[in-house]
Each structure stands twice: as structure tokens, then as C-alpha cells.
Amino acid sequence: MDAPHRYVDRPEDVAAAARALAGGAVVAVAFGNFYAIVTRPDAATVRRVNVAKGRPADQVGSITTAFRRIPAMFDWSRVPHRLPEGRVRQLMGVLYGTGPFGFRGPAVDRLPAHLTLRDQGVRTTQVIAPGLTCPSNAFFERAVAEIGVDHLHITSANRSRHRTGAADEPAHWKAAGIAEDFAHLDDLVVLAHRDEAAARAAHPGHLPTSVTLLSFHAPAGEPEEPPVLTVDRHGSLHVDAVRRAAAPLGLQVRLGPTAGRRLTVRPYAGVPV
């Protein structure tokens, strides 16, 4: 990167990045063992980032927030009764405790249409978080305070394959790659890992790519059987690890129709993962 690095574990850099985000900037932030792009959650900013990535302008966005705020993003009254809230929240604690992960469930009413998606008759949102111990939680907490909301827009740190023509465009796990891909954004702020190799080593069970996403808004199975949750995207954390976490809570996990192929890791010339 041409500009001096800002680091996710340096308070003054976190404060500066949060102020920039509140002012409309695009922030590429250290996120578990890779990077994500985070912005204000308003429709105009989400649309601008979609266009910058080469996505359809009206593509629905995901959200993120500080770890302690995650349960408030979901409307638990709309979760089917056969799936107890307590067990889902326990599973969230376990999986977010391991590192970056995502959950999709019924959205609270205050979330806007451009950050929600209707599925099987349920208005859902997906919350992508870096894990309980990631220092980016402090950045998210500072950013939502600066804006005066309780959630942010998040998207993968990559250009869309619709723009590049590549078969796949995995998320970046090196800050320099993001800066190169998004050099056309004059307000890009990169809040980097101080040591990217150490960040990857700290998550041995996770690939440095976009998170695995588990949905709980429409559990399958017969009433007398354990609820079955669906992996909508098979990414960073292997589905077997998700199943091991869910089993002690009486929950089963299956791969959804779009999760048959696990996401790949971005290669960098001469750089081992």
C-alpha cells in the first residue's frame, strides 16, 4: 500500500477509521484470518460498493456488528417453536468463539429492505462476524457509535467475478491485494492485521476465505426429530466442525443446495497460505 498502514489493534487507527466510515468511506478491515469490506448501512452506500465491486447495484447486503450486539439483529419471535432460542444462541457463542462465521435468521423489523432477503416466507438477514476474540470488534463498536446505529454493511473483500470474468474471486487475505483491487476508490481505508501470518495461524480450523453461513429461520425435519439447520455457504469453517458444534445441542446440520462446493482460497504469487 502506498499510504502508511493503519492497524486494527491500534486505538488511534481504529478511531480514525471509524470516523472515516461514518463520513461515508469504504473500510477494508482485518477480519479473523482474512479481510472484509465494511461501510455505512444506508442504501446509497451499499449501492455504491456493489457497483465498485462489479455486482448488480441492487444486490442485498449482509450486516456485521460488535459481537455483543449480534443477537439483537434477529427477531427471535419468528424462529419456529421447535427450535429453542437458547440452543441457537449457544451455537452462535460456540461458532463465533472459534473465529469468523455467519448466521442467517429472521430479521428485526428495523433493518432496511436492502439488507434483508425474503426466503421461505421469512424476512431474513445474515450477520457476518469475525469471531469473539478479533480486535475488529472494537472497530465495529466505535463505528456504530459514530453513526448512531447498531449495525454496519459488510461484503467480501474482492471484486465480483461478474466484473473480472474469472470463474471464482475469493476474498483477500492480504491487505496489499485489496488496495490494488480497489485503487479506483479514493476513499478506501485499510485497517490491517499487524501480522497477517499470525492472524492465519491463530485460526487453524478456518481457511482464509469468506465465512461459512448457517441458516436457522426454517429448520427442516419432522416435529419429533432434531431440528436440521442449513449451511447456505460452505466457506472458512468446514461443515464437519459445524456439525460437531451443533450435535451436543441436539441440532443437526446439512449442506444446502448452494453449498455443495466449498469456497476456495485466493492464491498470491510466491506467498504460501
101 forms beta bridges with 129
Nearest to 29 by CA among 188, 192, 154: 192
Torsion-angle region of 121 (φ positive above 0: left; ψ -120 to 50: alpha; else: beta)? left
pLDDT tens-digit readout, 51-101: 999 999 999 999 999 999 999 999 999 998 889 999 999 999 999 999 999
Tell me the average pLDDT of the chain: 94
Domains of the chain: 6-255 (3.90.870.10)
pLDDT tens-digit readout, 124-135: 999 999 999 999
Band of the pLDDT at 180, cuts 50, 70, 90?
A: very high
Band of the pLDDT at 3, cuts 50, 70, 90?
A: very low
pLDDT tens-digit readout, 12-37: 999 999 999 999 999 999 999 999 99
Helix ranges restricted to H, the chain: 11-22, 43-53, 85-98, 136-147, 161-164, 175-181, 196-201, 239-246
Band of the pLDDT at 165, cuts 50, 70, 90?
A: low
